Amino acid sequence: MAGISQNITYVVLGANKGIGLGIVQALFARPQTTVIGVVRDPVRASNLEDECSKGPRGEGSNLHTLAVDVSNVPERDGLKELIKSKLSSSIDHIDVFISSIGQTGLMKSALETTAQEMREHYEANTISPLMLFQAFWPLMQQTSTDSEASSPKKVFFLSSSVGCIGELMEPMPGGAYGPSKAALNWIVRKLHFELRDQGIVSVAVHPGWVQTEMGDLAAKSWNYPGKPPMTVAQSVEGVLQVIDGATQENSSGKFLSFDGQEVAW
């Protein structure tokens, strides 16, 4: 599936299941698209390739995989070396960075959440997305002759309304997941101000309450009867519409829902 990158090149973190997998499959079905799927280990990388081989592949599109353990992500320089060793022969630039990595357990109250739970959630939900973005940043600064000059570079971090501070939406517990996503939102907002002069579009996206392992755990934590209201396909469709339509003027520096509506920080 490997090949020289063409047209639009995407990086998708958390690519082996749930929303991340859905995004990879949808992008891979588009023509002239290169997708780099970042997963936790080589086994998941192989599984991702198998899943994508079962679905449609756009003409001229390619899939690459990269294994990084987000529960114990290396420092930026180590990640840069890993990316260089695995991708330098086939990838010369990145147009769109999408972080869909994250973890949650049963969400407890703030009084019950442990130090270990906080550390684990910040490592996976806050530190890893930022370190991986830093590592891919040199490639985002490059432009391919195959890319449309008018297309802005874009950065998206899938967050959650559970991390909202300005508008706490319910009295339900957020455990360590909520504060780790709130910290991620701060990073996205800061990246907007740091990178906007370079034309970078930086957006936090709430993908909805989705029927995934994480969504099901949230339902269990909140004693919700039944499954979360959204399917993965519905979430992916909305998230990609936000990604495709995002510009400096309408989206950068904002926290947007899958339906394009602005969410309170």
- Residues with a catalytic annotation lie at 177, 181
Sequential DSSP letters for 211-255: SSHHHHHHHHHTT-SSS-SB-HHHHHHHHHHHHHH--TTTTTTEE
Contact in structure between 98 and 13 (CB atoms under 8 Å): yes
Contact in structure between 217 and 106 (CB atoms under 8 Å): yes
Tell me the H-state helices in 15-114: 18-28, 42-54, 76-87
Integer Cα distance of 258 and 243 in angstroms: 9
Report the SS3 class of residue 106: coil
Residue type, 167: E
Residue type, 243: I
Residues 134/135/138/144 CA torsion (nearest 10 deg): -120
Integer Cα distance of 29 and 115 in angstroms: 42
Helix (H) or strand (E) holding 116: helix 115-122
Contact in structure between 252 and 245 (CB atoms under 8 Å): no
Contact in structure between 205 and 157 (CB atoms under 8 Å): yes
